[in-house]
């Protein structure tokens, strides 16, 4: 793991990220479709991910994978043939999953299908209609004004089709020594927006490449590129046993903006992953924001659901919901920079490095206490000594270590909870290992 920094500096990673931002930004991704496949194929240049296809109509828990959406062109013209709105100018102009339409209509009929941004006049908002059969256009305030002033009918045209196909997702598994797994998940379903979705996709790909180069990994890594929600639900449905065994997750999104770093906590606020993330942010950032787990958000909603309960955190830079350009055409390549993505990548790399360095111990006798006297641990080790804020006797510490060492809680978390240092505990850890009561896992 210590080679991470060298690896990053051996190539000009910022230029690479920039190149992929420019190539991937224009693709009109959605929850299905050829642009998603193309995105995954381009990512295969960075990592050897496997592309899976799940047919339309497949039942995945409470959901059904919808028909595949394809759009070729779309516009609104006035009677003189002037195009007031054109999908060719910006793919956010059409509501994602719009049904086809070719009709001349008055403004009053068109109006319910036109969306504008409530607070950013020059922005085109991002709207979807995946599961309701509908159509619509998203426009700037100026375009809205121009459309609404038309007294003559407008020609409205969307050349799209919805037909059976498949949902595409990418998967890359990196095996470590242990079967314990970290899930890295990002979503590939957003069209031309740079911070929401695309920045996370690129960071995940480059992070996966960094991890794959490492030798002697302790953890195994399950890296998935899915359309948000339906893709994560699909992945969980097809990999139920594997997801139930995942230790922790990282849902990677909105990592390339100019604003503050922040992190969203895992569903269990006391989980050690939160402390690990926070220690990295404290070390690397002057300030950062902390967002408690919320039932709204990204795919941690699926991975943390009752059936799986994977504690999943997100480190972000300009978190979704929190910046004004969110879900609009102003979340673009002016808002996001490769440099900012690289800064976020460094935090995730630091997190992986820390994960790989964690120590775990497991009690060999998890069912009830050990009989300490049999092992000469009681009362021979008795006698009060003061450690940390609380006064623990050595017997106390023996009992605490055996009680807390479940093989899944890292030693740093146990030390923190007991408020003692590793050096204060080394002697006892070694003694318990030598006695066969504790083992390092
Ligand atoms: Zn979004």
Nearest 5°: the CA angle 341, 126, 232 is 65
The answer to whether 361 and 367 are in contact (CB under 8 A) is no
The whole-number pLDDT of residue 6 equals 46
Q: What is the pLDDT of residue 393?
A: 86
d(CA 367, ligand 1 centre) in Å: 47
Spacing, Cα 192 to ligand 1 middle (Å): 11
**Taking all residues of the chain, what is their mean pLDDT, rounded to a whole number?**
94
CA of residue 215 to ligand 1 center, whole Å: 35
Neighbours of ion ligand 1 (CB under 5 A): 196
Identify which of 334, 331, 262, 326 has the alpha carbon closest to the alpha carbon of residue 294.
Answer: 262
Per-residue pLDDT at 349 exceeds 50: yes
Q: What would the mean pLDDT of 103-121 be, rounded to a whole number?
A: 97
User: Span 203-219, mean pLDDT?
Assistant: 96
Distance 327 CA to ligand 1 centre (A): 6
**How far is the centre of ligand 1, averaged over its atoms, from the C-alpha of 297 (Å)?**
9
Q: In 257-344, at which residue ranges do the beta strands (DSSP E only) sit?
A: 261-264, 288-291, 311-317
pLDDT value of position 29:
98
Q: CA-CA distance, 369 to 381, in Å (whole number)?
A: 16
Residue 94: name the closest of 134, 49, 132 by CA: 134
pLDDT in tens, 7-62: 444 459 999 999 999 999 999 999 999 999 999 999 999 999 999 999 999 999 99
With beta carbons less than 8 A apart as the criterion, state whether 200 and 30 touch. no
Nearest residue to 271 via CA among 234, 242, 304 = 304
Ligand 1 geometric centre to CA of 12 (Å): 29
Q: Ligand 1 centre from 197 Cα, in Å?
A: 7
What percent of the chain clears pLDDT 70, i.e. is strictly above it? 95
Residues 6+ apart with CB under 8 A from 11: none
Q: State pTM to two decimals.
A: 0.93
The whole-number pLDDT of residue 79 equals 94
Instruction: Average the pLDDT over 109-131 and give the result.
Output: 97
**Do the beta carbons of residue 258 and residue 340 sit within 8 Å?**
yes
How many Å lie between the centroid of ligand 1 and the Cα of residue 34? 19
- Ligand 1 centroid–CA 188 distance in Å is 10
Span 363-373, mean pLDDT? 92
> Ligand 1 centre and the CA of 120: distance in Å?
17
Expressed in angstroms and rounded, the spacing between residue 216 Cα and the centre of ligand 1 is 36
What is the Cα–Cα distance from 87 to 89, expressed in whole angstroms?
5
pLDDT classification of 392: cutoffs 50, 70, 90: confident
pLDDT of the residue at 387: 52
Predicted confidence (pLDDT) per residue in 143-163, tens digit: 999 999 999 999 999 999 999
């Amino acid at each position: 793991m210590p080679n991470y920094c060298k690896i990053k500096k051996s190539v000009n990673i910022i230029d690479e990220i920039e190149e992929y931002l420019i190539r991937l930004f224009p693709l009109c991704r959605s929850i299905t479709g050829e642009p998603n496949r193309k995105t995954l194929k381009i990512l295969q240049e960075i990592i050897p991910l496997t592309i899976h296809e799940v047919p339309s109509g497949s039942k995945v828990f409470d959901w059904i994978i919808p028909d595949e959406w394809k759009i070729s062109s779309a516009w609104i013209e006035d009677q003189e043939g002037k195009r007031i709105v054109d999908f060719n100018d910006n793919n956010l102009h059409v509501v994602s999953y719009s049904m086809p339409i070719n009709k001349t209509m008055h403004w009053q009929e068109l109006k319910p299908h036109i969306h504008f941004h409530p607070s950013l006049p020059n922005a085109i908002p991002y709207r979807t209609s995946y599961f309701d059969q509908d159509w619509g256009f998203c426009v700037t305030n100026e375009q809205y004004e121009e459309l609404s002033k038309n007294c003559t009918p407008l020609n409205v045209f969307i050349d799209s089709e919805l037909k059976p196909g498949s949902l595409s997702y990418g998967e890359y598994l990196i095996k470590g020594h242990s079967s314990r797994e970290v899930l890295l998940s990002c979503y590939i379903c957003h069209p031309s927006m740079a911070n929401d979705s695309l920045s996370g996709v690129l960071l995940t790909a480059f992070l996966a490449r960094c991890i794959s180069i490492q030798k002697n990994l302790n953890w195994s890594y399950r890296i998935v590129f899915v359309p948000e929600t339906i893709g994560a639900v699909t992945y969980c449905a097809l990999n139920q046993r594997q997801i139930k065994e995942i230790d922790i997750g990282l849902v990677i999104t909105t990592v390339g903006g100019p604003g503050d770093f922040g992190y969203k906590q895992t569903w269990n606020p006391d989980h050690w992953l939160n402390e690990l993330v926070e220690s990295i942010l404290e070390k690397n950032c002057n300030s950062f924001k902390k967002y408690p787990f919320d039932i709204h958000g990204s795919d941690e909603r699926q991975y943390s659901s009752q059936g799986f309960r994977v504690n999943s955190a997100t480190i972000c830079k300009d978190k979704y919901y929190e910046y004004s350009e969110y879900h609009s055409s102003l979340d673009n390549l002016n808002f996001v920079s490769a440099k900012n993505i690289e800064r976020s990548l460094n935090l995730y790399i630091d997190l992986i490095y820390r994960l790989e360095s964690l120590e775990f111990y497991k009690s060999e006798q998890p069912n009830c206490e050990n009989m300490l006297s049999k092992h000469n641990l009681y009362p021979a080790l008795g006698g009060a000594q003061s450690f940390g804020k609380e006064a623990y006797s050595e017997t106390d510490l023996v009992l605490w270590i055996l009680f807390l060492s479940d093989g899944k809680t890292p030693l740093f978390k146990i030390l923190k909870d007991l408020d003692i240092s590793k050096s204060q505990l080394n002697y006892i850890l070694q003694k318990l290992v030598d006695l066969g009561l504790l083992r390092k896992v």
